[in-house]
Structure 1
């Protein structure tokens, strides 16, 4: 491999290492903190705490997490209605921006911020698996699932695939498969 390919591989394969005291706040508080964080470093640390906290919480804690996303991080219908009215009367760039912001649930931005942590996409896929299980008993969680679907469709599209030819010079682990 070339030096550039090795460097890029290292960057994309890195794992986030958190060096600090564990944040014991509930997941819902951590989510609110992540949404209000301004810095990349603090945001990444909070995202890491949320992902780790979610992974180690029990079933009821996970269910409560999704209920929080579904209820507290949903679209504000009154605000959306007001913004739609403004956009109907005056189709400016500013009104369009407000419309787009009001039409997107906060949980989508939360998922984007969580996904900035290396390895988070894998954890978000497992979160959705849990969510699908909870939806059998709580079909109202389908709104949150639609957001996961929307984000995954944009993250996992053909434009992001990298196809490389396999030859005898390819790494042994690939050739074995």
Structure 2
């Protein structure tokens, strides 16, 4: 019985905390004085952080339901605008159609540290949207505002080097998402003179990188990742810098998912490197293909292929299926992949060409491929046995790809991709 009383007391406390937070939301929207608004916003944020996980879920539900536009007022205003499409009616319709929660978020953003708090709120929201589709409109409001506030025009590009603050270097180690950084010695090598690291920062988050990219300065386009991340390797002299290879790009803020940052980062970095090192002639990537192995295991399907191409795709899949005896788990080690006969490796390479050159244009296409192709890169070269790490073997049978960034043609290639066409080299197109 005593435990029952304790549970009830806790629940009552949780309910009071949630009610207090919702009251703060209404007060903040109705407050006219800026000084009072800051104080209310500070309390509101503190109350949000104090909520338990299930309380946050309820708060988002209430924010979605109780702080949306008035449907009746929007309908009447829309009818008035349809009848008389003048500026006054349009302004009124736009005002009424905007959910009040957008203004609530703007007022929270005025608080010192408010931008960081809103990014954190969205991170918590994103964890729930897939399970609660009724929160999609609320998520759209967060994304709309953050996309404006994190417009690339507001972002600051900074080079990260060994003399950068230790706190920043620790964040680079922590947030590296493509090729794990194995401690300080590994990071030091990645910041040597033949390497570069650049990050985007926002004025409201001056000590927190939003996204960063790592670059290797090389004599030629790289075909495997191991030499690039070998912490025992020796730096190359500047007279060998002919190629800038982007080999890792990592987002640091999950709450900014969907906000376009990476495409602008790569272009800005390429321009910066071109100014610093005019001898650079090639800008490319060495990129993972994270969805490739899963697609092959699932049958390697591409919709709408002409008959001849469909037959070549089916034959390549049949070849690899026969080679592994119908069990792709046999290829779960670097040793097994190194032992594959040339015919099987050629078939696997052809499958990768279809996966990137055709399947990438579909909604379920590889996310890394879609990022680079939509960013105006050209599919340039496939590299078998390029990533023999456990992660590379599992995700792509160790296959990697080079995307080429021709700065004079990125807009043309981007336009092609928006119309379902992948810009690619002749060598890869010949595999289709």
Is 2:73 the counterpart of 1:79?
yes
Q: TM-score w.r.t. structure 2 length?
A: 0.33
| Aligned Cα root-mean-square deviation (Å) | 2.3
The residue that corresponds to 1:110 in the other structure is 104
> 1:107-146, aligned counterparts within 5 Å?
107-146=101-140
Query: What is the deviation of 1:63?
Result: 1.2
Structure 1 match to 2:354: none
State how 1:92-111 maps to structure 2 within 5 Å.
92-111=86-105
Is 1:42 equivalent to 2:36 in the alignment?
yes
Which residue number in structure 1 is paired with residue 6 of structure 2? none
Deviations 1:74-116 (A, max 9, x none): 1222111110111122233321221111111111111101010
Kindly state the Cα deviation for residue 45 of structure 1 after the two structures are TM-superposed. 0.6
Shift of the 86–161 alpha-carbon distance from structure 1 to 2, 3 Å rule, reads same
Using the TM superposition, give the Cα deviation of residue 163 of structure 1 relative to its aligned residue in structure 2, in angstroms: 4.1
Shift of 1:124: 0.9
Compare the two structures and name the one with the higher helix fraction.
1
Shift of 1:135: 1.9
State the Cα distance separating 1:65 from its structure 2 match: 1.2
Q: Deviations over 1:4-43 (max 9, x none)?
A: xxxxxxxxxxxxxxxxxxxx76111110000000000011
After superposition, the C-alpha distances for 1:123-174 in whole angstroms (9 at most, x for unaligned) are: 111111111112233111111001001011001011112346889xxx8528
Aligned pairs, number = 151
Q: Matched residues in 2 for 1:163 and 1:137: separation?
A: 36
Write 1 or 2 for the structure with the bigger share of strand: 2
Separation of aligned partners in 1, 2:164 and 2:26: 45
Q: Tell which has more relative contact order, 1 or 2 (C-alpha 8 A, sep 6+).
A: 1
Q: Which runs of 5+ in 2 are unaligned?
A: 1-16, 170-432
Which moves more between the two structures, 131-140 or 35-44? Answer: 131-140
Whole-angstrom distance in 2 between the partners of 1:91 and 1:136: 38
> Radius of gyration: which is bigger?
2
Mean alpha-carbon deviation: is it higher for 84-93 or for 26-35?
Answer: 84-93
What's the counterpart of residue 66 of structure 1? Answer: 60
